[in-house]
Chain A
Amino acid sequence: MDISLTLIAQQLVAGVSLGSIYVLVGVGLSLIFGLLTIVNFAHGALFMVGAYVGTYVFLKTGNFWLCLVAVPLATGFIGLVAERLLIRPLYGRGPDYPLLLTFGLAYVLMDVVRMLFGVQGERFDTPEALQGAVDIGVGMFPLYRLVLIAFTAALMLALWLFIEKTRFGLIIRAGARDAQVLRVLGIDVSRVWLAIFGLGSALAGLAGLLAAPMRGVSPEMGIPVLVEAFVITVVGGMGSLGGAIAAGLLLGIVVSMTTLFQPEMAELSMFALMALTLIVKPQGLFGRKGLLS
Chain B
Amino acid sequence: MSGQRSAFFRTGADWAARHRAAATTLVLALFPLIFPFHTLAINILLFGLFAAGYNLTFGYTGKLSFGHAAFFGGGAYGCGILIANYDVHWALAIAGGILLGGLIALVIGLLATRTRGIYFAMITLALAQCVYFVFFHAASLTGGDNGLRGVNVVRVELGPLQINLLNPLAKYYFMLGLVGVAVWALARILRSPFGAVLEAVRENEGRARACGVNIEATRLLSLVISGMVCALAGALNAINLSTVAIDSLSYQTSGLAMMLTLLGGMGTFFGPFVGSAVFLGIEHIVTGYTERWQLIVGIVFIVLVLFFPKGIWGTILQRYAK
Contact = CB atoms under 8 A, between A and B. Distances in A.
Interface string A1-33: 000000000000000000000000000000000
Contact of A293 (B116, B300, B309): B116
Contact of A107 (B126, B134, B295): B295
Given A106-B298, A230-B125, A282-B114, A268 B130 contact: yes
B126 A104 contact: no
B251 A223 contact: yes
User: What 8 A-B pairs have minimum CB-CB distances, sorted nearest first?
Assistant: A104-B301, A107-B298, A108-B298, A111-B295, A271-B130, A230-B122, A293-B116, A111-B294
Given A39-B121, A107-B297, A108-B299, A278 B111 contact: yes
Interface residues of A, number: 46
Contacts of A104: 297-302, 305
A14 to B, nearest CB: 21
Interface residues of B, number: 37
A233 interface: yes
Given A234-B115, A238-B118, 17 more contacts: A37-B118, A90-B305, A96-B121, A97-B309, A99-B64, A103-B66, A104-B297, A104-B298, A104-B301, A108-B299, A111-B295, A112-B295, A226-B125, A227-B129, A234-B126, A268-B133, A271-B126
Contacts, number: 112
A186 interface: no
A196 interface: no
Contacts of A227: 125-126, 129
A185 interface: no
Interface of B: 64, 66, 111, 114-119, 121-123, 125-127, 129-130, 133-134, 137, 251, 255, 258, 262, 292, 294-295, 297-302, 304-306, 309
Given A106-B298, A107-B298, A275-B111, A97 B125 contact: no
30 contacts: A86-B306, A90-B306, A96-B64, A96-B121, A100-B64, A100-B258, A100-B301, A101-B301, A101-B306, A104-B298, A104-B300, A104-B305, A107-B298, A108-B298, A111-B298, A114-B294, A115-B292, A115-B295, A230-B122, A230-B125, A238-B119, A267-B133, A268-B133, A271-B126, A271-B127, A275-B111, A278-B114, A278-B115, A279-B111, A292-B118
B182 to A, nearest CB: 25
Contact of A230 (B114, B123, B262): B123
Contacts of B301: 100-101, 103-104, 107
Contacts of B64: 96, 99-100
Nearest to A107: B298
Interface in A227-245: 227, 230-231, 233-234, 238
Nearest to B123: A234
A207 B164 CA distance: 55
B258 A103 contact: yes
Contacts of A114: 294
